[in-house]
Amino acid sequence: MTERLVVIGGDAAGMSAASQARRRRDDLEIVAFEKGPWTSYAACGIPYFVAGDVEELDRLVARTPQAFRDKQLIDVRTEHEVTAIDTGAGQVEVHDHAHGRTFTLGYDQLLVATGGRPVRPDLPGIDLDFVHGVQTLADGQAIHAYAEHGNSEHVVVVGGGYIGLEMAEAFIRWGADVTLLEAAPEVMGTLDPDMGALVRAALERHEVEVRLDTPVSGFEPGRVLTDDGVIEADLVVLGMGVAPNAGLAAAAGIPTGAKGAIVVNRRQQTPVPGVWAAGDCAESHHRVTGDKVHIALGTVANKQGRVAGINLGGGYATFPGVVGTAVTKLCATEVGRTGLSEREATAAGFEYAVVRIEATTRAHYFPGAKPVTVKMLAERGTGRVLGAQIVGEEGAAKRIDIVATAVTAGMTVEDVLNLDLGYSPPFSPVWDPVLVAARQLLPLV
Amino acid sequence: MTERLVVIGGDAAGMSAASQARRRRDDLEIVAFEKGPWTSYAACGIPYFVAGDVEELDRLVARTPQAFRDKQLIDVRTEHEVTAIDTGAGQVEVHDHAHGRTFTLGYDQLLVATGGRPVRPDLPGIDLDFVHGVQTLADGQAIHAYAEHGNSEHVVVVGGGYIGLEMAEAFIRWGADVTLLEAAPEVMGTLDPDMGALVRAALERHEVEVRLDTPVSGFEPGRVLTDDGVIEADLVVLGMGVAPNAGLAAAAGIPTGAKGAIVVNRRQQTPVPGVWAAGDCAESHHRVTGDKVHIALGTVANKQGRVAGINLGGGYATFPGVVGTAVTKLCATEVGRTGLSEREATAAGFEYAVVRIEATTRAHYFPGAKPVTVKMLAERGTGRVLGAQIVGEEGAAKRIDIVATAVTAGMTVEDVLNLDLGYSPPFSPVWDPVLVAARQLLPLV
């Protein structure tokens, strides 16, 4: 009898896994259920669709359901929502939204790739029409419509993280009057406050009204309520983080851990035999702290999906984990971070030395040399680099990859200082900003 | 009695060392002799001065002789050429060009930082006025004058390496009719020919006439002679590589090795007690092959100078060597390389697997996504990454730093594939081009 793999979720992790499994086993029946109309779409592209950088929403779709069916014989069923998993019987219950029917389907192997969901705290009025999360392409369409129809004079962005920053940029570029509300004392909580302040300064240069220490208390039509007063809004965009969408798995008794994400081993197996998980619904291992963490990022979803698919296809692959790398930008200001911030290093029990240096992205005499600030942390005694944060202009953010690689390798500050990096005046000062940080950090560790 | 450090050469290596030594020992007398009028200048900036990117030659001077004297009490003497070293007596013979006098000065410690010299083969007519090397700021001034005075309609660049490429760009931008002569079968000999061909295609798109397999046989006024005919030239720029300028040291019996560069240990000590060397005149250790190599690059000179200076100042520092990283550009085409090419891997006895992939510098749907080609080599069996080459447009070249770091750490292809690199649509596809190369290389190792 044909063995059947059922995949729940048709985005990055699910479809990467399905593709890898198919590549290795053409005898496998693969059924993928996706509750929405799209597969393999780039949710991270939504802010740039709203901003107008990407003109057609379809451009964000890497591969259509029909392409999966035709080219890879993957039975993708969109508008099909899995409503229950029975791990004992080895079957899923599925609701077909298009035809209003519910059915069950057995599986030999099951991959849970149900993704993440934007955090929507239970505040009065949060379900009002003008309050939008940013997750699906439908969200992107809805938010874009406000801008397109001139109905976004006053935009309130709730949350000063990656999505908040990117949505603020989108509406800055539409000429909206943007207010950003941040419950914490500084924006960009994945950076240390001294680096977050540089990002806030960039927001303020673009005339975003940033209100720190200002949690939202509720919404009324046309207004956002805070302890600090009422703010007029045509549109509210929520950027309050992404939680694992693991309720379905949890209800089926599949164990969950960090922030409610599904527990997996390095092959992406859950503790329940025959059940696998990958992507924004699953945990990751943090390679610096050794802790389990929840990181909702397309790169991680793609890698975990690939690993799950290779294993489901009878191969062997492992996902060694993350070091917490992320990049984003606000207009010309680029932001990168990797490894541990001061707060994270302290929480993990590290004693550390830290520097913050100013440099330029190119040789100081080369046109287009832009300022860049690099902060770097290293463990005292061992000198092991724990993390870095970068805020600067063109050419700044992706330099974080050097540190991400060094952190992964367990390099010391002296190792980093001695790295043989590419140098030419249009690309770098003779001491790359990352090396300048290491050079100044070395005497302190 | 005061101890005296004599430094020969006032550029990157010499002055980095002098500065580091001063920082650690304020009791040391430091005398630095520089035969030219400038100290600490960025020779790598010369092509961009000629192109017009850098308007004032003085901008290439990082620190003037007077600044070294005033701020660091380093007795810099420009237009002073050291003509002999007597390691037995511990003294140098110096010719003061400004005053036409020669004197000797004793040293306790000596640092040889005499730099490199452009290769000038002994061809008929090579000393004609219109044939220029690219090394000192005076060379830059002389070459720039041709462009500025409209005397560069026909420019012949001899050699298709880094300097050749950069000088070709400079004259493309002045609207000159540029011919590039390359003795080898392809340009950019530090890349493999398949990647070099991409650079040649870029030259040809800019209407540079590239003649491969065409060594120069001589020069006559207004003409360059080759076996393949005569080429009209108002100006000839030599980009035939840089040799260590180690004749002075060799004449004093200081041992030389790779390509005639001065032999040093990891602290930058030569085998002669009390004599140190750093920069373009000295050898480096290649961290992949384990061989001694000569790499004439500002980054290496700065690092070696720093190490020598710390040791001369009574501290302890070592230079672990290079992995052969370099970046450059031709107009919009960026080039990066690190580790071993196929030719180098073969010469070192490695059996390797190799891939070449095409990707984009940003998410495929993001405006400004540019094509990029990545070639990657890994040792068979161990999977250790041996090197990579990148040719592409904006955002391509500096990605080589990821591979340089990975090669330094001894990472395998699978290690690289799993790197947690920064991802956001304006900066990268969800699989960074470097990761795409690793993903495709993995099944082959």
- pLDDT, one tens digit per residue, over A271-313 is 999 999 999 999 999 999 999 999 999 999 999 999 999 999 9
Residue B374: both structure tokens together: 């990545």
CA distance A109 to chain B (A): 25
Average predicted confidence (pLDDT) for chain A:
97
- Collapse the DSSP code of A170 into the 3-class scheme (helix H, G, I; strand E, B; otherwise coil) and give the result: helix
Contact call for residues A428 and B334 (beta carbons, < 8 A): no
CA distance B99 to chain A (A): 33
Task: Please give the average per-residue pLDDT across A333-350, as a whole number.
Answer: 98
Dihedral class, residue B284 (left if φ above 0, else alpha if ψ from -120 to 50, else beta): beta
Task: Please give the average per-residue pLDDT across A166-195, as a whole number.
Answer: 97
Residue A398: how many CA atoms within 13 Å on its side-chain side?
A: 25
Report the candidate in A113, A86, A107, A106 with the shortest Cα–Cα distance to residue A276: A113
Contact call for residues B121 and B144 (beta carbons, < 8 A): no
C-alpha to C-alpha distance for A117 and A11, rounded to whole angstroms = 13
Residue ranges of B 274-293 with Cβ closer than 8 A to chain A: 287
Give CA A18 to chain center in angstroms: 21
Give the DSSP H/E element, type plus range, for residue A197.
Answer: helix A193-205
Residues of B in Cβ contact (< 8 Å) with A419: 401, 404-405, 408
Q: Which residue has the tokens 């059915």?
A: A103
Residue A410: how many CA atoms within 13 Å on its side-chain side?
A: 6
State phi, psi for B45 to the nearest 5 degrees. Answer: -85, -10
DSSP annotation of B263 reads P
Residues of A in Cβ contact (< 8 Å) with B59: 365
Contact B422 A325 (CB under 8 A): yes
Task: Please give the average per-residue pLDDT across A74-78, as a whole number.
Answer: 97
State phi, psi for A377 to the nearest 5 degrees. Answer: -120, 145
Q: Which residue has the tokens 């052969």?
A: B324
Contact B411 A415 (CB under 8 A): no
DSSP annotation of A345 reads H
Specify the pairing of strand B229-232 against strand B235-238: unpaired
- Search chain A and give the residue with CA nearest B432: A299
Cross-strand pairs, A104:
A93
Which of B165, B424, B432 is the best substitution to test chain A (most A C-beta atoms within 10 A)?
B424
Judge whether A421 is closer than 8 Å to chain B, CB to CB: yes
Cross-strand pairs, A322:
A286
User: Of the listed A25, A42, A44, A193, which one is catalytic?
Assistant: A44
Q: Is pLDDT of A438 > 90? A: yes
Q: How confident is the model at residue A43 (pLDDT cuts 50, 70, 90)?
A: confident
Report the candidate in A49, A41, A3, A50 with the shortest Cα–Cα distance to residue A25: A3
Residue B42: both structure tokens together: 């960025």
Residue ranges of B 61-100 with Cβ closer than 8 A to chain A: none
CB atoms within 10 A of CB B212: 17
User: Of the listed B42, B44, B123, B332, which one is catalytic?
Assistant: B44
Contact call for residues A129 and A234 (beta carbons, < 8 A): no
Please report, as a single letter, which amino acid is at residue A307: V
Q: Is pLDDT of B42 > 90? A: no
Strand A333-339: give its sheet, edge to edge: A326-330, A333-339, A385-392, A371-379, A352-360
Q: Is the pTM of this model over 0.90?
A: yes
Residues in chain A: 445
C-alpha to C-alpha distance for B242 and B364, rounded to whole angstroms = 40
Report the candidate in A18, A62, A67 with the shortest Cα–Cα distance to residue A40: A62
pLDDT at A419: 98
CA atoms B400, B402, B404, B406: torsion sign: negative
CA distance A297 to chain B (A): 8
- Collapse the DSSP code of A201 into the 3-class scheme (helix H, G, I; strand E, B; otherwise coil) and give the result: helix
CA distance B308 to chain A (A): 14
Task: Please give the average per-residue pLDDT across A116-141, as a whole number.
Answer: 94
Contact call for residues A376 and A403 (beta carbons, < 8 A): yes
Judge whether A58 is closer than 8 Å to chain B, CB to CB: no
Residues above pLDDT 90, as percent of chain B: 97
Please report, as a single letter, which amino acid is at residue B360: T
Residues of A in Cβ contact (< 8 Å) with B280: none
Exposed / middle / buried, residue A126 (Cβ in 10 Å: 0-12, 13-18, 19+) = middle
- Collapse the DSSP code of A236 into the 3-class scheme (helix H, G, I; strand E, B; otherwise coil) and give the result: strand
Distance (Å) of CA B431 to CA A64, A418, B34, B312, B400: 19, 28, 49, 46, 15
Assess whether B44 carries a catalytic annotation. Answer: yes
Q: Is pLDDT of A344 > 80? A: yes
Q: Is pLDDT of B425 > 80? A: yes
C-alpha to C-alpha distance for B400 and B389, rounded to whole angstroms = 7
Task: Please give the average per-residue pLDDT across A163-171, as a whole number.
Answer: 97
